[in-house]
Structure formats: C-alpha cells, structure tokens
A and B are shown apart, each in its own frame.
Chain A
Amino acid sequence: MSAWRSAGLLTGAAITALMVAVALVALVWTPYPPTAIDIPHKLAGLSAAHPLGTDPLGRDVLSMLMAGAHASLSVALIAVVVGAGLGVPLGALAAARGGWMDDALMRAADLAFAFPALLTAVMITALAGPGAANAMLAIGIFNIPVFARVTRGSARGLWQRDFVLAARTSGRGDIAITVLHILPNIAAVLLVQATIQFALAIVAEAGLSYVGLGTQPPQPSWGRMLNDAQTYIFRAPLLAVFPGAAITLSVLGLNLLGDGLQDLLDPRVRRQR
C-alpha cells in the first residue's frame, strides 16, 4: 500500500474521529446553549467571546455547529443501521437461497433504485410529517436495497467456494453457513459500504433539514443553518460558510476513510504483504 493511500486513510480517520468527538462533546458541553437567543449581540463577527460569530438571533455559531454535528451524525448513524440491519439479512437470504427468492428480492431492489432517493425521502417526510425520526427512516429505507445488493453480490461468489461445500458436508445449514462463513468474509466490503452510505446520509439529512423536513427548530442542524444563512448571505456570508464547511469536511473524511479501508481490507492487497 502506497504512502499516499495510507495518508488518505489516516486523514479520513482523523477527520471522522474529530466529528464524532465534537458530536459527543456537544452532548455535555457547548460554549453557549445552542438555542440561547441574544438579540443585542446578533450577527456578531468573529471574536474571542464568539469564535465563529453569532447568527441573526444572536445564537453562538460554534455551539450550533457542535450541536448540529450531533444531530447530523445521529440521524446518519441510525439511517445506516436501519439500512444495514434490514439490507444485509435480505441480501444474505437472496444469496443463500438463490432461485425465485433471489429474483424477487433483487427485482424489488431494482424497483427501489428506480425512485430518486432524495426526492422520495422528501415525499416520505412530507407525508409522515417532518422531524428527525422520520428523516432517519426515510434515509434508512433507501439504504436497504444498497446493502442488500452489496451483500448479495459479495455473498453469491462465496457460496460457490469449496469451503462452503465443506461446511455443508459438515451438516451446516444455510443460516449457520451465512453467520459463520459468509458474513465474516464480506465484513470488510460491508464496512466500506457503510462509511460511504454514512457520508451520503449526512448529505441527505442536511438536504432534508434545509427544506425544513428534517431536524426541527429549535434543535440546530447544519442543513437548516445553511437555509437560515441564505437571507443574510451578503451581510454575513460566513454564516453559510461554516455549516457548509462542516458538511463538506465530514463527507470528505468519511469518503477518505472508506477508500482507505477498501485498500487496507482488500484481500488481494493483503495477500501481497
């Protein structure tokens, strides 16, 4: 593995770790309460008291960003958990059974892919009512076919391998083989896919919040901060820069991490060492 690749992995891991740390710290401490309105100090520039300034209602931008990290990451995490939690078993089932079960599940996945994910997530939240919980579900639903496809694709090849035949002659059933032999061998692929889906989920959450369907006020979120900043784009352009940078940085970090992990865990690369 080249030094450049491992630099990407380390950078990605560092950025992701930073985001997670900020989100966790925001649970117990932010410089100001992120929802505290302080009209006299509205639209303050960068200062020692407010390192990233304040918004039109005088709320501290750094505190809002920190609390927003928590909102974004938790929505994205749950969306990925929902997607993987249902998608991986379905994909594994399709690979194990084959035949009509495989056909039916994969055509259902095709059908889900035929809908533009973000637009349908907008529709789901509009129908079910806006809010963080519904945003998690709406994004999670579109992760299910992604994980099902990836799981099925990687598992399918493994089912042809002799060690699976050996497990069958040892009397293992489909479920035992999936748990003991298939999943451990595709864990790396799934982990990489999870980091990519996590990045997409952050963007999706920001998008839903931007149009007002995701995290609801007064709970801060990066997407809504961007929307609020629009009105003041000429008076206080930095208000849009900070949440935009936070979204970009976390997505970049997760993608670098996913890329790096892929190289690290690729069995062909591993075998050469």
Chain B
Amino acid sequence: MEKIGVFVCHCGTNIAATVDVKGLADQAGDMPGVAFSCDYPYLCSEAGQKIVRDAIKEHNLTGIAIAACSPSMHEATFRAAAAEAGINPYMAEIANIREHCSWVHTNKDEATSKAESLTNAAVAKVHKNKPLTPGTSGVTKRALVIGGGIAGIQTALDIAEAGYKVDIVERTPSIGGVMAQLDKTFPTLDCAACILTPKMVDAARHKNIEIFTYSEVDEVSGFIGSFSVKIRKKARFVDEETCTGCGVCMEKCPIKKIPSEFDEALANRTAIYTPFAQAVPNIPVIDKNACIKLKAGGCGLCAKVCDLNAIEFEQEDKTVERDYGVIIVATGFSPMKPYKYGEYLYGESKDVLTSLEFERLMNAAGPTGGVLKRLSDGEKPRSVVFIQCVGSRGLDERSNPYCSKICCMYTAKHAMLIKEKYPDTDVTVLYIDVRTAGKNFDEFYRRAAENYGVKYIKGQAGKIVNADGVLRVAVYDMLENESITLEAGMVVLATSAEPKSDAKNLGKVLSASVDTNKFFTEAHPKLRPVESPTAGILLAGACQGPRDIPETVAQAGAAAIKALGILSKDEIVGNPCVSSSDETLCNGCGACVHMCPYQAISINDDRNTSAVNEAICQGCGACAVACTNGAMDIRGFSNLQILAGIEAICKP
C-alpha cells in the first residue's frame, strides 16, 4: 500500500493569489493513499525541500506529489529531494498548478477546483509509479566539429587545448569559412585575415586536431558518448602527403575561366586550385567538372609539371569511419543571392552587388586588388548606395521573416572603408531601422554618419533603373516626406543571412532539429543556447541564427566547454524514462521503427519483435502513439499511469 505525501506550494502569490492553497492541502489529505499533506510559501527553497525530506522520513512515505510550478522548472529539484530522503526519485510527481492553473485563470473557486483535479491526477499517477534506475554508457574521448569556419576552428582549438582529440570536417578545400572572405571586421576595422589566419595555422598544427577538408559527413549513428560517423573524403586528385603547395600546377593549368567560389564569382580560378593564397591546408584540389583530363582524357599538364608526382588522377572518394563522444555543428551561413528581387537589377547590372561581393571587391587580395571600381566599365563610382534589409524582415515568399542582425554594422563598415580610401565618393545608406546593439557598435555607426559624412536616409528603395550606366534609385525619404531619386555608380544590397541550403539534411543525419527558417534549434533559447535538443549534439555560430564574429567566438567557447563536460566524464547517466517494448504484445510490424526520429528502435530478427536502444531513445513517445498493439510504452509515462491520472480527473 502506497503512503503518499502531498505538498502544496504558494509560489509567493503566484499560486496563492488564485488558488486556495490551504483548502487544497486539506482536501489532499482525503485523497486515496495520502498519509500526509501540507502547504508552504516556497517549496523549492532549502527550507521547503527540508519539509519534504522530513515528511518522507517521519511518515515513511513511499511517494510524493508536489502541487507547484511546471515540472520543467523544478521536477529535478524535488526528485533530488526525494532521493536524498531515501525513496526512488521517480516516485515524485508534479501537479502543475501554476502555468496550467493559477497563471491562466482569474476565478479563485474555479482555479481551486482545477488545482484539486490536477493534484488528484498526480496522486493517482504516483500509485502506478515504479522505481526506475537510469542506465549508464561509456564515452569516446574524441570530438567532431562539422564546419571549419571561425566557429568550428575556435571550438576545436578550445577542446584541443584542454587535451582532447578533435576532428574538423570542412566541405570546401580549405578551412576559414566566410570570415576568410572578409576584408575588415567591425567595430575595430582590423583586417579579418590578420586575426583569422593565425588561428587557421594553429588548428592545422595542433597535435590534438585533425582536419578533413574537402570532406562531408554522410552518416551518423549512435548517441551521446558514442557516435559513429562516416566521413566522405572527396577525391582531391592530389596526394596530401607529397604535395608541398608550390603552386606550379595552378600556373600551368590551361582551364582558367572557372568562376571562383571564394571570390563570389567576381574572379576566375583554374581547374586545379586552392581557394585562396593562405588556404589551410595549402594543397590544391582538381575540380573534376572542369578538368579536361578527368572529363575527356588528354591534357594532364599538372601531372607533367609536378616534380613530386603528387597528382593522382585515379583517386576516388574515400569513406572514413570514426567514433566520437560529442558532435559540434558549426556549418555557418551564406548570404542570400537576391535573384528574386528583379526591381533591384541584381544579376542584370554588374554594378549591383551583394555585400559579400562588395567585401571581395574592397579586399586587397580580391579581384581588383582592393581598388573600388565598377565591374561594368572599370570606372571608379562617384556615388555608392547601400540598400538594407534585402530579403530580411519580410513576410512574403521572397524574404525571410527575421532580422539578419549583422548587416547594419557591416554596411557602416563598408561605408567607412569607401570614405577612408576615396573621401570624395558620395555614400548613402537606405535603412528601415539601424540596429547596432553591441559593445562599441552604436558608436561605430555614429562615427560613419558624423565623422565620415555617410548619408543615412530612412526608407527602403522601391526600384533601380539603369539609365546608360547610371543607376537611378527610387526611394521615399520617410523623414523628409518626399520622394527622391538617387543617382548611383554602384549599389550594394545587404542581403539576408541564410542557413546553408542543406542544413535541413544535415539536421536529419544528426537527428538535430531545425526551425522554420532552417536554422538549427537550441535546446532552450535562454538556458541551453549551445545545445541542440538531441543529447551530445552541440551548436556553434551562425548555423543557429545570424550572428557576428564576437558572438560566434563566444558561442564556440561555450560549445567547447559543454563538449568538455561530456568528454571528461567516464560514463553518461541516461534517462530511465525511455520507451520499452512488451514482447508479448509486439507483432513486429515495424511502425515504431519508422516513427522513431532518433533511429533508436530496430526489429530483433530472431524474435521478430521491436527492441529499443535505451541510450539513443529520448523518450519522446512517438512509438507509443504509433503502436497499434499497445506494446510500446514510455517508462514513467506508461499508458496505465496516464490513464490513472485521467480517470482521477474525470471522476465526479
């Protein structure tokens, strides 16, 4: 026979103002199996927990029901209190009479009656609860970082410095990411390459870091502590061991007109190439879609000029299988290519650029050597117009609903860079709002407006007309209340920052969810910002939402700490509230296998029944819903337990 204690929390006035807590505690004393009941202003306080612990010992309670706030708030607190008093923590139940009751009701009588029902249901569930013990599993002492931009590099460096092995998987031929493409960084205007390349070299030289460039993650299985990952190393056609990166092959390659991905297609590269001069590793790859030898035979000039015989045309994609304890997603973002914005002439006029293209144009290592000139006629533009929020903050099908966050600042940076190099250029920024929250950010933007004479006009451009090479930008000045037309030699569109186009696929491979904008979802937007909802999968940088470099680096450090928290453990304590299959009821139909979003269930071939891998199962309950035979149940939330609660509520 269970002896149950009921504890009612006032939560100050949060609950007590709307629910008659004393009456509820009295009522609870009459509920079936209840041996003790009381109320207290703040049960979660140390004094409150002591009341719970003392009552368990004094009255030999076998289970407790806490009528208080949401279980996501304090379930762990009261489970710990129960364990400390000597009963199984899973014999503690929460009746949520705050979020589900006092906060959403105003009538005290009705709220009290509802609180009674909820408490009654919790008591009924305690009667059906069974003691549960979580299992444990081991930890592979190696981390995987997906993406080799500043987020991935920083995370890997922090983990490696703490003494653990890290692998970085990068899709392109070099690590560096978007930051390597930038000219200067805000708000200090220091050169991006000067602060990034040392980190790239540090990562490459670190004895604990292994870098897989030109590689992709194909398959991930397993769970926190022991993931098994298949990494596909795409054929580079150059032997990484022998190549010294002398670059003769690139000089001699006859295919010279392939648009360079690194230069945002503003310049060309050869078929055998490294994306940029400071590439890490400094080993070229052969683009098999461009190379004459690989497409049709013949040529092979690169192999002839290579003294070290490093060119290997017969290379094929290779798959490497590795085990990891933790995975950090740092896949970053790419700016939108605004082809859908026909009114802004993107793709029609060479003088309409995206901000990242402009960044390459202003970069000393870029296609023009850092000289500002129009790509249509090579002339220096006398005036440049920046249009903000292109593709951001919109609700139509062309745009993304969110603010891309970094554009206000990099546009102020671009404006200043022009004014610094060419003070006689007219620079105008068309803005809707200027959002510069961040340390020294607003000062930076004001410097552009006040010291550099950058004109800020409130109002987004309506359209651009190309009048014999002069771009006429129509805009309505919202502060002057007049419609104006600006003449510009060049227009720069601050386009929306978007997740990588295949982020959703990677999310599926990792069983990590993405939001409606395809950014990776965090486990809790405030309290668990660098963890995905899937245990052991962490997030760093712009794959989670638009963010600037300081924030990305801070988040990378935070993700590294979370990774170290996992790697430093000898074993991972699991969650016992996972699914289990009743073999006497299971007919092996496999509906649960298909329903499971975590690939935790398989069909046991010998017995033709489903088997749950408890370490992978997250206890979501999808299988229990899918099972037509009632064979699948979640421990701690079994059908029997849930129905007992419902019955208690429905009883007259």
Q: Do A and B bind each other?
A: no
